[in-house]
Structure 1
Amino acid sequence: MTICPGCSRSHHCFRHHDLNHLVPMGLRIFKSCVCSCVYEERQRKKKRSSYEKRTNASLKSFGYDIGKQIGVGAYSTVHEAYSPTQQRVAVKIIDKRKLVASSLRILSKYFDQEMQIQSKLDDVNIIKLFDTMEVGSKLYIFMELAEGGDLLEFINTHGLISETRSKRLFRELCMAVYHCHINLIAHRDLKCENVLLSKDMKVKLSDFGFACYCHKMSETYCGSAAYSAPEIIQEKPYNPMLSDSWSLGVILFTMVSATMPFEETNLNRLVTNQLRRNWHFPRHAIKILSEEVMELVADILEPDAKLRPSVTQIIESRWLSPSAVRKTTASSTAKNEV
């Protein structure tokens, strides 16, 4: 036994005196030594490389060419790609080998539902779905490319978004959600990471993996806790459309303040803060924000779902309605001058 220089673990290493035994096995002998784990890892890399070449060849036969990686998740990656018409698109690649059997069944259920739901949605502010393919152990979802990244990346890079720009972006987001709701579809995973931006800064709502039809109350706990309504965290049956409204309120708060209203480190504390309305705008945001936008956030972050505004009511609010534009602008200007 010796310590392997490749993995720092104890292994039986194959030295030169093992040559007669190793050559029939097809092992190549290096100057120092080659332990079994290093050899196995090299073999796995060769297999992966061969598999990827065959996969890329299969995709090219359908006219798709996979480009650089632009995003990564727990069991998927997102790449740029070219479609058969040489249009730049995005492709989400899900590797089923990274999932255990139970997760694979869940993925299959939600994947089929996601594809069915997204194919029914056609709105300028919703990412368009072009094609889906399954090659070997991987699922490929080809969709519209949002070159501006996601909303969270934008906020992390540039800080809070001005109220004027926030009004336009938030209205586009609300119109995307409204399109879903009038088709009796709830998104159920609204968050800054799923709000993508086009090259010209237009909203593109994405990731309908948890979307559902709104024929009855929902009982599925899903989404990100920091964006989830209190009834979801309490595991109560909930109206998924009104839970979408709550998530919109969290997104708007984050846009205009570059902070989150709630922390998700402790779920018990989180739901207590939600129910007690224990949140506030940071001082730097209060100095520049209009009363209308702060009132709208307070209305949306209503812990009682029955009193929470629908997306239609949000769109018709004083801050988003056309009649409120001049008033909001004047208020913001006056505060900035002070």
Structure 2
Amino acid sequence: MPRILVIEDEAAIRRVLVKILSEENKTYEVEEAEDGLAGVDMIKKEDYDLVLCDIKMPKMDGVEVLELTKKLKPEIPVVMISGHGDLDTAVNTMRLGAFDYISKPPDLNRLLNTVRNALDRKELVVENKLLKKKVSKNYEMVGDSPAIEQIKDMIEKVAPTDARVLITGPNGTGKELVAHWLHEKSERSVGPMIEVNCAAIPSELIESELFGHVKGAFTSAAKDRAGKFEAANGGTIFLDEIGDMSLSAQAKVLRALQENKIQRVGSDKDIKVDVRVVAATNKNLSKEIEEGKFREDLYHRLAVILIKVPALNERRDDIPILINFFADKIAQEQGTSKKSFSA
């Protein structure tokens, strides 16, 4: 049951918002606070899936509430409520991490669409956190060969920065693992890590998947939907097998990297995003560029740091360690004694 907190000092508007949300979806549990101080106190004590917060309030304004919420519980999306004279401030709150803003008096459709999109994003963030815990618990970078030690050392140096990273190597070498380590050892680890397998998504759907869409953008677009870049805001997006991405999608990714903003399919509204991009491929992108299948300008934007993960036949010293690791893992999972292997 989604929990929504409405922070608004004008009682009439607060009651209208609570009434609209409660009647729109009976599963919404809507609570209210009459000022910023009371709202922050409730956020400290309770877990909410969404906060709607007025900008101009006595005691503590909405900008301060937003900043404190992002420090206390960064996974909670915050939608700002702005008066006619607050538009510049509302836009600025997007740069500070607000999910979106709505104007007073609230337009019903805009309000409900924004709430649905914000709750969708919160659900994605929660799912991603669970996945991240699972990955962190169950996987390790196994090996002590010079090649693996070099990768570990590079991760330690690169992870704390916001530099984009391109990971190359054959299938099954652990490119995804490197991406997870880069995220988990960075300051963005408190935010989401969103994975996109570009090879698994049909070319006609990849742009909608990455950037979202608005209602009516295409036949099956029944409602507005946030994309993966929005879901990754404040964290990392991992574009796996980016060499399989269509040229039109590559152009939009390039714009997102250049300008830190995206547009949903069917919309001309810019949406600011704060995302670190990590990409991976098993292809020779230099060859793909020569053949006109991959944009050279996008390659240079992505490959600020290049990490090559070697195939197992290039690090044979790790084979006994890997065998021992997986023998331990299988024994633990199946509750059996560990099997021994001879070299």
Normalised by the length of structure 1, the TM-score is 0.27
The higher relative CO (CA closer than 8 Å, separation ≥ 6) is in: 2
**Higher gyration radius (CA):** 1
